[in-house]
Every structure is written in structure tokens, then in C-alpha cells.
A and B are shown apart, each in its own frame.
Chain A
Amino acid sequence: DGGITQSPKYLFRKEGQNVTLSCEQNLNHDAMYWYRQDPGQGLRLIYYSQIVNDFQKGDIAEGYSVSREKKESFPLTVTSAQKNPTAFYLCASSFPVGDGVETQYFGPGTRLLVL
């Protein structure tokens, strides 16, 4: 089955700790994205990557880092610099810009909580 997987489903972070959220897709999509969802707000873009070994900051990149070493994988690290990390994190992927509508498809999400 083609799709996007995110792990873990729930993640707990201690003060001063970096944590990494996993996102994997087997849809052969070149582009991948990370969004953050807070209660009462829509999704906001953290980082995006159009091709392997390249990524760009979104609207709320401070306190986050990413890597894109493989087409299938786009992990997100929430660093200790992110002072309010409690949120629901969604990964998405799409075909790259220029291939049409480039509809984004989403993974099931990771809920991050601070202890």
C-alpha cells in the first residue's frame, strides 16, 4: 500500500531535550513538508523540501531542523530552542511544483507533549 507513515504516534519531550519525528513515504513524491497544528489554528508550515538534499524554512522554522538524505524520508528534529513544542505535527508529500496540481497528502501525525 502506498502512503505516508509517521512515528511515533505520541512523543514525550523533557526540558532541554532534542527529539526527532519520523516521516516516510512510498508514493514516489519528490516534495515533502512538515506542518504544525495547534488548537484553534490551522496548519502552519515548518519546513519543506522539493528534492533530496535540499530544504527550505517555512513560516515557523525557529527551533526546528530537518534533513533530506533520501527521497522517502524527511525527519523533523524539535530542538531545545523550541520553547513551546507541544502540538500535533503533520508530514505531507506531493509531486514537485510544475507537475500539475501537486496535491499534498498527509500522514497520520505525531502528538508531541512536553513533560
Chain B
Amino acid sequence: AQTVTQSQPEMSVQEAETVTLSCTYDTSESDYYLFWYKQPPSRQMILVIRQEAYKQQNATENRFSVNFQKAAKSFSLKISDSQLGDAAMYFCAYREYYGGATNKLIFGTGTLLAVQP
């Protein structure tokens, strides 16, 4: 069964600096999708970025980028120029490429990011 591990329960970063959140996963599949979701204090889950495993190029969305290492099964999120609004719980999630009939997302346990002014 696929699993997603986020080994950093909490992280802290100074405003305007860069922080990297780690995520590793376990799968025997070769094609799949990976996601980072942000959950601010409002608890609304917001999609930050997604990566298709068959694409070698790392995904980027403005200040957010990923370092996708397929062989190592690693999918880290880098936040550049951190802002106070980035403070949130960040979840890494995995989905099979074909999804079966489920399209089920498998989530890690989350990393709570604090941004210090």
C-alpha cells in the first residue's frame, strides 16, 4: 500500500527567507501524482502545487516550487520569500495515475509552518 511520510511535525522560518518542507512516499507504481495542500487556521484545504511523476521538470507556482526526486521517492516543497500568510499546516498527498475508481488521495500527517516577523 502507498504511504506518505512527513517527518517534520513543525517548522519555523523568518519572514522573507526560504524554507523547505520534506515529504517522502512509498509506491511501486511508476506513474502517479503528488500534491502539496495548505491548510491555514481557517482549516480550508488549498491546493498549492501538483507534480506529475512522468514529468521530469519540477513544478513551480510563483514562490512555491518542488524538488521531485523520483528515484528517492522524495517530494519537497520550497517556499521562497516567506510571508506571514504562508503560516499554515502543509500536507503532502499522493494519488495513483489512473486512480482506479477511487481517485483517492493519500495524505501525510502534515507539517505546521510558523512564519516569524
List residues of A whose CB falls within 8 A of some B CB.
31, 33, 40-45, 48, 50, 56, 58-59, 88, 90, 92, 94, 96-97, 101-109
Contact = CB atoms under 8 A, between A and B. Distances in A.
B101 A50 contact: yes
A107 B33 CA distance: 21
Contact of B44 (A44, A59, A106): A106
Interface in B92-115: 93, 95, 98-110
Nearest to B98: A97
A11 to B, nearest CB: 14
A97 B91 contact: no
Contacts of A33: 103
Given A97-B99, A102-B99, A103-B35, A45 B43 contact: no
Given A103-B47, A108-B42, A45 B105 contact: yes
Interface in B67-106: 91, 93, 95, 98-106
Contacts of A56: 101-102
B107 A43 contact: yes
Contacts of A40: 109
Nearest to A45: B104
A42 B110 contact: yes
A24 to B, nearest CB: 15
Contacts of B99: 97, 102
A88 B43 contact: yes
A88 B98 CA distance: 28
Given A50-B101, A56-B102, A97-B99, A42 B45 contact: no
